[in-house]
Amino acid sequence: MFKVKNFEDNDDVIIKEQNGAFKVVEYKRDLSVDYEQAQSSYFASEMNVRRRQLVCDVSQSNITVQAGAMQWMVGNVNSTTGIKGAGDFFKKALRGSVTGESAIKPEYTGDGLLVLEPTYKHIILLDADDWNNEIIIEDGLFLACDSELEHKAIMQSSISSAVAGGEGLFNLGLHGTGIVALESYVPREELIEITLDNDVLKIDGSMAIAWSGTLSFTVERAGKSLIGSATSGEGLVNVYRGTGKVLMAPVLE
């Protein structure tokens, strides 16, 4: 049995978002500053530059997190590698080497709370059920997820798509049922969600942070010809085609 006081119930803390076993805690102000930092800290808070933490209720679900993300945990919470034999280890090591994610992501089980390191980035919670049970995410955005979600290395349709499109040759794909937490440089309030029904989305730059696994990703000329692309002022664009959703930032990082 444990009790946690002056954390979620602190009057300087709000629950920004909650879904499944996850809560996003946001600090309205940073009170742990000295006289010289107070002014800059005040204006940072006014511009929504605030510390945030992901709180995970391990009693609701086993949780997989990015390596090194844990700050503290309380209760009967155990950390494992999540590796199920030698074959699983080599598969995860290979996936990590091509996606740029940590090869081994710790899995937390038991009955208690797991709190991740604070970040000034925005924490976005996505439900895989809303994405036809397969989400592909931009490199470096993964923070945590329900362990029921299967991690896959999703290869782009061609090497040219990866190089010209500003994406890696492989992206991390999450398949199954559960919640995934992303670290985004753009808040949810500004993210643009586009739903395609057998249609096409073209983006000038790698501004998509997540998209459905049912969509095909290619890189194509903005115009129908080289001359058309040149005269339009655009060159190559990232193209998402099919039926599914795309979550897009309004600006490049």
Residue 159, pLDDT score:
47
User: For residue 71, what are its two tokens?
Assistant: 């700050």
Q: What is the pLDDT of residues 37-52, one digit of tens each?
A: 989 998 989 999 999 9
The whole-number average pLDDT for the span 149-166 is: 65
Contacts of 173 (CB under 8 A, 6+ apart): 134, 135, 136, 137, 151, 152, 153, 154, 213
User: For residue 246, what are its two tokens?
Assistant: 């795309």
Residue 156, pLDDT score:
64
Does the model's pTM come out above 0.75? yes
Residue 224, pLDDT score:
63
Residue 225 has pLDDT above 60, yes or no: no
Residue 155, pLDDT score:
72
89 vs 172, more confident: 172
Residue 88, pLDDT score:
47
Is 110 among the domain residues?
yes
Write the single-letter amino acid at 26.
Answer: E
User: To the nearest whole number, what is the mean pLDDT of the chain?
Assistant: 85
Is 103 among the domain residues?
yes
Is 199 among the domain residues?
no
Number of domains forming the structure of the chain: 1
Is 251 among the domain residues?
no
The whole-number average pLDDT for the span 225-252 is: 75
Q: Partners of 242 in the beta sheet?
A: 199
Residue 30 has pLDDT above 70, yes or no: yes
Is 185 among the domain residues?
yes
Residue 103, pLDDT score:
62
Residue 222, pLDDT score:
77
Residue 104, pLDDT score:
78
Contacts of 174 (CB under 8 A, 6+ apart): 128, 134, 135, 136, 137, 145, 149, 150, 151, 152, 180
In the chain, the largest separation of any two C-alpha atoms, in whole Å, equals 70
Angle at 178 between CA 253 and CA 161, to 5 degrees: 40
**Residue 166 — very low, low, confident or very high, per pLDDT cuts 50/70/90?**
low
> Which residue range is the domain that position 89 belongs to?
13-190
Q: What is the pLDDT of residues 169-217, one digit of tens each?
A: 678 999 999 999 999 999 999 999 999 999 999 999 889 999 999 999 8
Is 63 among the domain residues?
yes
Question: Within 13 A of 83's CA, how many CA atoms are on the CB side?
Answer: 13
Is 222 among the domain residues?
no
Nearest to 251 by CA among 180, 184, 173, 201: 184
The torsion angles phi and psi of 135, rounded to 5 degrees, stand at -120, 135
Is 214 among the domain residues?
no
CATH of the domain at 132: 3.60.160
The whole-number average pLDDT for the span 61-82 is: 93
Residue 219 has pLDDT above 60, yes or no: yes
Q: What is the 3-state secondary structure (H, E, C) of the chain?
A: CCCCCCCCCCCCEEEEEEECCEEEEEECCCCCCCHHHHHHHHHHHHCCCCCEEEEEECCCCCEEECCCCEEEEEEEEEEECCCCCHHHHHHHHHHHHHHCCCCCCCEEEEEEEEEECCECCEEEEEEHHHHCCEEEECCCCEEEEECCCEEEEEECCCHHHHHHHCCCCEEEEEECCCEEEEEECCCHHHCEEEEEEEEEEEECCCCEEEEECCCEEEEEECCCCHHHHHHHCCCEEEEEEEEEEEEECCCCC
Q: What is the pLDDT of residues 91-148, one digit of tens each?
A: 544 444 444 556 678 999 999 999 999 999 999 999 999 999 999 999 889 999 999 9
